[in-house]
Structure 1
């Protein structure tokens, strides 16, 4: 059964690592990260990068909040229940890679 973490989009497989980030942390935190990373067969850098990236994607996706009054929400729900018929533009959109996978 997939876990929440496994549902997250993966980083591009051949992404170039051309940037360095230095982070200061306690030895206890570093050891905790190292233990978790080793359980997953990852290096510390791989674990930290993947974890931070997944968290960043979650934060950005959570910013997609909008507020509607009852009437507008009912119209919104009705529109969701009436999806457009497939067309070339929709097919092209569904084939595009999401921003977080680019």
Structure 2
């Protein structure tokens, strides 16, 4: 199902002929127009960049509790321990 775009602003980008050919091929394989492909991928990259560079602020009154939580030994998770013991499907 295609997502309806409500885009109303034009963004122009210069690319080399090889880059354009690659982008057009990727868009075709994704069954999207070049414009739709570029918009989606640019927005995904921007979201990842913004999230990666986000700053978390911990109030001073909570800092000691946070440090204590960091210093606690890790608690085992049974499901992860079981998963780690399984033979990977590609080795069966």
Q: Which residue of 1 aligns with 2:37?
A: 47
Question: Of the two, which has the highest radius of gyration?
Answer: 2
Q: Which residue of 1 aligns with 2:83?
A: none
- After TM superposition, the score normalised by the length of structure 1 is 0.52
* Residue of 22, 43, 67 corresponding to 1:32: 22
- After TM superposition, the score normalised by the length of structure 2 is 0.57
Higher relative contact order (CA 8 A, sep 6+): 1
Structure 1 segments of 4 or more deviating over 6 A?
67-71
Calculate the aligned-residue CA RMSD, in Å: 3.0
Tell me how many residue pairs correspond in the alignment: 66
Give unmatched runs, 5+ long, in structure 2: 73-92
Give unmatched runs, 5+ long, in structure 1: 1-12, 79-102
